[in-house]
Structure 1
């Protein structure tokens, strides 16, 4: 009986450590440089395990779930979904961040046109930990500051939780970041709640994945803003590509488009409409979280 009890305890502990914790952050943004009164708010998830963490939009997970169900329903022949439903899940947080805790590396992933781009963050965060403490919700927190991406950031972290992580690319403090905000009040991340999940979700990766340096990603991003239609061809943006798998299926960048409409539209009209939409998105997102 004692041996059975030990085995049961071992299995229980294994199950506990196999789980991940999901921290839900409310992200508040002023993405339009010309209209700082336009405030956008959405939720994002920070999933943490012993080996890694992932930060991504809640709407991204919902969109992926809808698209995956549609793909399975259609027997793998393509994706068809309700445009209005997907429009309601549009997100400004189209990127995802993965942190490799073992090797202390941070990876940024984003879609440009048909392809997914991935780069390793090459700028280490340097924090100044201050003596000031307060309480946010149920957590006792301490203040810290850093300069990153052209902005000055203030963070409040807690050692009440056994994690040294935070939303977006923020990491390196001796605790979990409960709140972080830039000095202009244009971007903030506020912890709302947390709970356990069985495992990390599998994100849809339609198209190819292209590994690049951060500087090359920024060049491609700027090219996409000025000439978006060049990214709609099979060859993407003309970049020298290192491809990793990929299904070659185009996916809407921010949840719009697609799905059961427009089958009889003139190709030139569709192209013009897509180009106008992409340029409008660029205008509405002219105040990025990283200014440099």
Structure 2
């Protein structure tokens, strides 16, 4: 198993009180099972020890770019193309009760659901040093996958990337059995406060089952979903396109939908 060298900043003692910390993870993922080429990007886990937010680095970059464009009134959306992410969600965790709020965009609307994941961790005897940390291996089943995590008690924080939490220490690395998804801690640094990615528009709260149903409708018929009336239960913005635009949009949406056939949670 290959581990990535963690920057030496991790050797610094972490004091959660009165200051927030940003853990930087490298995320490797295979969202398309027909294309074995992995996609890699960075994601941030910001925490003050009581709550945390997990989001893509490109979300912060996009928000910063949008703020600059608003300030200069120079809206060049071509600059946004390089900031697209495969992690199009934000996860807010309450670490006191291990509950979370998952927020993402489906079609043209923002949605969220609340969840308290149950991780039945099996702590294994295997230990290994990753970067500057001594870690121990653990195993769990979640979202239709078997996951292996390596956590360190040198950072007394029961948290980790994505929805993962509940181990007696920070999760330094976690990957699924097939290697489709992997989160590797690369760096940590102090920050003034937890960053909260911007939500453009209202966030509609749903149950998790309803959210999954909405996602499936979007995957099955993205064009109808996008052109349906806003907040009608199918999402969308209620706009009209000419036949040529509709055809182009349909091809683009269908291509994107097909390329997301291997989600991190299979069920």
| TM band (smaller chain) | 0.7 to 0.9
2:193 alignment counterpart: 199
Structure ranking higher in strand proportion: 2
2:32 alignment counterpart: 32
- C-alpha distance in 2 between matches for 1:236 and 1:162: 44
Query: Is 1:131 matched with 2:125?
Result: yes
RMSD between aligned residues = 2.4
Pairing of 1:1-292 with structure 2 (within 5 A) = 17-35=17-35, 37-74=36-73, 80-83=75-78, 85-233=79-227, 235-236=229-230, 238-239=232-233, 267-292=242-267
- Say if 1:273 and 1:27 are closer, same or farther in 2 by CA, change over 3 A: same
Contact 2:225/2:234 (8 A) holds in 1: no
- Normalised by the length of structure 2, the TM-score is 0.87
Compare 63-72 and 155-164 and name the one that shifted more.
63-72
* SS class of match (1:54): strand
- C-alpha distance in 2 between matches for 1:116 and 1:53: 20
- C-alpha distance in 2 between matches for 1:249 and 1:99: 30
How far off is 1:229 after superposition?
A: 3.0
CA shift digits 1:101-133 (9 cap, x unpaired): 234311111101221111112541110111211
Contact 1:114/1:207 (8 A) holds in 2: no
Contact 1:230/1:237 (8 A) holds in 2: no
CA shift digits 1:66-121 (9 cap, x unpaired): 112223333xxxx82231x2111111000111101234311111101221111112
- C-alpha distance in 2 between matches for 1:66 and 1:273: 27
| Structure of greater Rg | 1
- C-alpha distance in 2 between matches for 1:132 and 1:270: 56
- C-alpha distance in 2 between matches for 1:17 and 1:52: 12
Contact 2:95/2:159 (8 A) holds in 1: no
Mind listing any 5+ residue stretches in structure 2 that lack a counterpart?
A: 1-14
- Say if 1:223 and 1:237 are closer, same or farther in 2 by CA, change over 3 A: farther
Mind listing any 5+ residue stretches in structure 1 that lack a counterpart?
A: 1-14, 242-247, 251-265
1:7 alignment counterpart: none
- C-alpha distance in 2 between matches for 1:226 and 1:279: 9
- Normalised by the length of structure 1, the TM-score is 0.80
* SS class of match (2:262): coil
How many correspondences in the alignment?
A: 251
